[in-house]
Structure 1
């Protein structure tokens, strides 16, 4: 053995900048990208992100946002909402990717939400459990005062995910 490798050197492949990825990937968006999430939410109750209180997770593909999920910090708890995938991108698992990234990043705190009833099973897959409305932090509960206690009529279910990994 001469100590020299007879094989020719192999170039180490490098990946392009994440914005150039074609395959979907998920990450928390940067403050300067909040307007991109706001644009996705135009078809979702005109929701807007606030860098002072929100962490927004997005699925990117072909340089565009395909789905978003938000975790908003209130003075008495963290609320998960704003989970939205535009119709053209539904059925590809993008919401699952966005919520999964959010739950992983925010696992140190209890997370609360009002889940649309037909999605309770979806959120249960991330460790969310149905709770009574009175178990929600007050400021989160206030968002549905218009329902006057009739959450069934509003077709939502309060849920909580306790802190920690599952």
Structure 2
């Protein structure tokens, strides 16, 4: 096949998805799409733009359609992921071909991506600009108390459906720079074993959270209505804590949280996406 003919892979393209799944771990060593795909999470929002040679994907740029939240407004945008090229095919401009095809599909809509630190110089060639992300933290002393919040397992299709409903219909974890309806994004790190546990706070609020040392890491909140997060902290911990770190801008759930420096591991790049100068952190469970 002509290596300048880009193939679009969607949710119904099972045979092409197999080629894509073979490609991913060759470029991203710890990543795999098979379990996520088996869960039925590859839906109409996700498209891969691939170059195929001799029955294998040799370069790719994927696009996830996102319902972005920008200062309380909802905007349709796109997030790139799985951008790369097989080591054997690098230096031939193939990544540029798939990037241009994917960007053409996005039109003038806002686009964001979280880059590999090794390729920070690549994305500005396509009109992307680096955007700082801020860490948020709070000093908070707490000890375990009460029955532990139940842990939910996304292997269960009903749990996946519940997360999808909370994400799509409930409150975004942040209005400053966030998203809603991204359950299929959040499930990907779970399927790969990268995520902290999903815990149930009552019937209408779930959080990804875990304790490391004396710190509780709250990676994301999915809730139908506002609730008192502080009241649940003792049930989210199994040992005393002295601080909390947030994986999102916590203006809704912990307005007293303070910026704790720059997230130097984020490597966020944006295109057609003007953001406020106010400190923000795109929810880490919404990263592709």
TM-score scaled by length of structure 1: 0.68
The Cα shift of 1:138 comes to: 4.7
**Cα gap change, 1:60/1:138 in structure 2, threshold over 3 Å: closer, same or farther?**
same
Cα distance in 2 for residues equivalent to 1:80 and 1:60 = 19
| Contact kept? 1:24, 1:60, Cα under 8 Å | no
Q: Does 1:137 align with 2:178?
A: yes
The Cα shift of 1:22 comes to: 4.6
Which 5+ residue runs of structure 2 have no aligned equivalent? 69-76, 135-175, 186-218, 221-245, 249-259, 274-288
The Cα shift of 1:123 comes to: 0.5
**Cα gap change, 1:87/1:162 in structure 2, threshold over 3 Å: closer, same or farther?**
same
Range with greater deviation from structure 2 (72-81 or 45-54): 45-54
Q: Does 1:151 align with 2:137?
A: no
CA deviation map 1:52-110 (0-9, x unaligned)? 32011001234432111111123324211111222222222211111111011112310
Residue aligning to 2:118: 118
More helix by share: 1
The Cα shift of 1:124 comes to: 0.5
Q: Give the aligned CA root-mean-square deviation in angstroms.
A: 3.1
Which 5+ residue runs of structure 1 have no aligned equivalent? 1-20
Residue aligning to 1:8: none
The Cα shift of 1:41 comes to: 0.9
TM-score scaled by length of structure 2: 0.42
Q: Does 1:65 align with 2:92?
A: no
Q: Does 1:35 align with 2:18?
A: yes
Count residues with an aligned counterpart: 139
**Cα gap change, 1:122/1:75 in structure 2, threshold over 3 Å: closer, same or farther?**
same
Residue aligning to 1:162: 272
